[in-house]
Amino acid sequence: MAVLVQFEFPFEGPFGAELVQAARELAASIAQEPGLKWKIWIENEPARQSGGTYLFEDRASAEAYVKKHSARLSQFGVTHPRVSFFDVNEELTRITRGPVD
């Protein structure tokens, strides 16, 4: 069953186009992660927040990624990201056009 993971953390930047330059290679690497269906890169520059919304094929791949990504973030000074795991209610999600297939 698909698992949604939400990362949120305080972040001083870069944001927007500058983050694209800084993180393009990282994004290409993340795209290859086992079990990852997709990641949406989220940011709130006025609030100095960044994060990601992820869909994984299953809980095991989600947990392996969270461990790996948390260690990577700590190298950038992000030491306590807020991480949430959720199951997806696929039948209700289908009614509201949610992209989980």
Size of the site for its own copies (CB under 8 A): 43
Q: What φ, ψ does residue 5 adopt, rounded to 5°?
A: -120, 130
Under a CB-based contact definition with an 8 Å cutoff, are residues 8 and 82 in contact?
Answer: yes
Under a CB-based contact definition with an 8 Å cutoff, are residues 62 and 11 in contact?
Answer: no
For residue 30, the surrounding DSSP H or E stretch is: helix 16-30
Q: Which of 43, 59, 64, 66 binds its own copies (CB under 8 A)?
A: 43
**Is position 12 an interface residue for its own copies (rule: CB under 8 A)?**
no
Residues that bind its own copies (CB under 8 A): 4, 6, 8, 15-17, 19-20, 23-24, 27-28, 30-31, 36-45, 49, 51, 53, 55, 84-89, 91-93, 95-100
